[in-house]
Amino acid sequence: MTTYDTEMILIRTVTITGTRSTNHRVLAEYANLFATYLGPFSPDAHFYIGGAKGIDSLALLWLAGNTTADLTVVVPGTVEQQPAEARQAIVRVRDRIREIIELRAPELRSPAYHARNRWMVDHSSMTIGFPKSDALPTSGTWQTLNYTRHQGKPHLIVPV
């Protein structure tokens, strides 16, 4: 049994996934969604968050500023390869991040992001997804939610 297996048994571990396109709502709306759907899990949870822009960065900033939950950021390559918005969010709350996992994929294409998402789900007991309401079922968020479902793990879908 690994450290991650033990953690999943003793602590609720939650993968956060969501759209990169977040400009269609104001920041206060995201804060309200996070308070409603992430807040109840935060007192005793460990969150795995992809290091991308959009929901990943917004959720990371909200969780770091509003909870004491453990936070792990997982990137498909390295942090330096992430978009500026994502890098800035990570730097801003680095003291609140328990761990940064760089999977060091040789190419940052869809397969690398899907592998990152599967890694997070495999290390979590549940997933909370924030797909854009008009997202195609092939989006990364839906791929992650479907993978979670196929693993027989609980998943919460919060359309944005």
Q: How confident is the model at residue 11 (pLDDT cuts 50, 70, 90)?
A: low
SS3 84: helix
Q: Give tens-digit pLDDT for 111-145.
A: 999 999 999 999 999 999 999 988 777 788 999 99
| Cross-strand bridge partners of residue 136 | none
pTM value is 0.91
- Domains observed in the chain: 3-157 (3.40.50.450)
Q: Give tens-digit pLDDT for 58-116.
A: 999 999 999 999 999 999 999 999 999 999 999 999 999 999 999 999 888 989 999 99
Residue type, 119: W
Please say if the pLDDT value at position 8 is more than 80: no
Report the residue count for the chain. Answer: 160
Measure the CA–CA gap between 10 and 96, rounded to whole angstroms. Answer: 21
* Residue 101, C-beta contacts closer than 8 angstroms, at least 6 positions apart: 72, 73, 74, 75, 119
Q: Give tens-digit pLDDT for 107-120.
A: 889 899 999 999 99
Measure the CA–CA gap between 104 and 107, rounded to whole angstroms. Answer: 9
Q: Residue 7's pLDDT is what?
A: 47
